[in-house]
Structure 1
Amino acid sequence: METDHIFIAVNDHGQSAEALQALGLVEGTPNTHPGQGTANRRFFLRNAFIELLYLTDEAEAQSQLTAPTRLYDRLKGGDANAAPFGVCFRPSTEGETPLFPVWEYRPVYLPAALKVEVGQAPVSEPMWFFLGFAKRPDEAPIERAQPLAHPNGFREMTAVRITTPDRQAFSAAAHCANQLPGFALVRGDEHLIEVQIDHGASGRRQDLRPLLPMIISW
């Protein structure tokens, strides 16, 4: 099991995307999620991608199908305890299944044969989920290939560290994630995600707060 992508819940996806573009990231194709009430902006690296997720339809996001995901709580921002992050994992070997307890979410925008396996965890933690059909961006077929060459030279996401201010015991999903190389969920004073690119070889970093609760180091 390995990290496929991370999402950050945003209100102003325009300014948020511009902040990543200003760092020298080339934007990939966006997606809409019919029936879920969300859409995204995406920035791809060779092994993973950064997703800016935003709300488009409150009724859909609170529907009977979507409500259990707690996406509305993360995206609306009314619950200060809700982590504005999600972490998606994919198999690192063929046929691998999630290593944490999950429930099946079958959104209408996916083919009937596919599913999202969502980790059982409090909303104070990131949304943990697993896509058994996901592949590395640099393994995508030509018709679905995304821009992977960036002016800043970014190549791969090599570590992710997420801070939560919540003090309750971590879920089984969180404990599982914390066993993976290059990943950490820790307690702190605020919701924050720190993404390391290319092992931080250049020694540079950019703090995107307050626009985004995110620090990128490379």
Structure 2
Amino acid sequence: MAFELDHLFICTAPNAPAAEQLVQFGLVEGRSNRHAGQGTANRCFFFHNLMLELLWVHNAAEAQSEVTRPTYLWERWAGRSQNACPFGLCLRPIEGQVHEVLPFPSWDYQPIYLPPGVAIPIATNVSVLTEPMLFYLPFAKRQDSYPEAKAQPLDHAFGCEVTRVSLTLTQSPPRSGELEALSATNLITIQTGPAYLMELGFDGETQGQHHDFRPALPLIIHW
């Protein structure tokens, strides 16, 4: 397998006020970003091998533009309090390994904030809003390999490296072939439950502790 998880997103209220709970808990916030022309913005928390992104729409017109519309980011964000899954999962290549075909069929999304000719492959199940958005950044690298000029805070009060990603979805199987294919890589585990939930395990969860950020954020952290 020549790919791994790069980052995860959770759709939040504008300006991600829930991020303050993460900071109070001991996470060190990294850089934030606005995706020009896409209509989304974020607040980010970086770990050695993965980034957690709190994502919201700041410009509805851009999020519903002809270029962005096929990503269903607007529908996912606007429907997050109804039945839309608020999560996204992004893969990246593993440095030094031969490129392999992605585990899911995809189409190329070319946002204006990327250079001409650079695209983001997005899984073809993107319109299935009861499942997380799946996509791939062919140019991404491990967070702990960033050059000094782009380095982000990676060490936190309780953990440094994500060793487990588990999602609870509200829709029972069968699920899309794209999501089933990603699940088969063992990069994530999926179960069914009454509400959407993301669980992150850190450093092998050797301390047997956890913190639940609900209802502010559908997130539980284990360490």
TM-score (normalised: structure 2): 0.92
| Alignment match of 1:147 (pick from 145, 153, 175) | 153
Correspondence 1:34 to 2:40: no
Correspondence 1:213 to 2:218: yes
* Gap runs ≥5 in structure 2: none
CA RMSD across the alignment: 1.5
Task: Confirm or deny: 8 A CA contact 1:205 1:217 kept in the other structure.
Answer: yes
Structure 1 residue 66: deviation in Å?
0.6
Correspondence 1:96 to 2:96: no
- The share of aligned pairs that are identical, in percent, is 41
Q: Number of aligned residue pairs: give it.
A: 217
Structure 1 residue 97: deviation in Å?
3.9
1:50-89 to 2 correspondence within 5 Å?
50-77=52-79, 80-89=82-91
Structure 1 residue 168: deviation in Å?
5.3
Partner of 2:9: 7
1:55-108 Cα deviation digits (max 9, x unpaired):
100011011111111111121136722100000011123433422111110110
1:29-59 Cα deviation digits (max 9, x unpaired):
1010011100000000000010000110001
Task: Confirm or deny: 8 A CA contact 2:4 2:187 kept in the other structure.
Answer: no
TM-score (normalised: structure 1): 0.94
Structure 1 residue 144: deviation in Å?
1.0
| Change over 3 Å in CA distance of 1:135–1:96 after alignment to 2 | farther
Structure 1 segments (4+ residues) deviating >4 Å: none
Report which stretch shifted further, 53-62 or 95-104: 95-104
Task: Confirm or deny: 8 A CA contact 1:161 1:195 kept in the other structure.
Answer: yes
Distance 1:186 1:112 in 2: 39
Correspondence 1:130 to 2:136: yes
Task: Confirm or deny: 8 A CA contact 2:46 2:154 kept in the other structure.
Answer: yes
* Gap runs ≥5 in structure 1: none
Task: Confirm or deny: 8 A CA contact 2:92 2:139 kept in the other structure.
Answer: yes
Amino acid at match of 2:71: T
Distance 1:157 1:97 in 2: 24
Task: Confirm or deny: 8 A CA contact 2:111 2:119 kept in the other structure.
Answer: yes
Partner of 1:106: 110
| Change over 3 Å in CA distance of 1:12–1:217 after alignment to 2 | farther
Q: What secondary structure does 1:103 align onto?
A: strand
| Change over 3 Å in CA distance of 1:203–1:91 after alignment to 2 | same
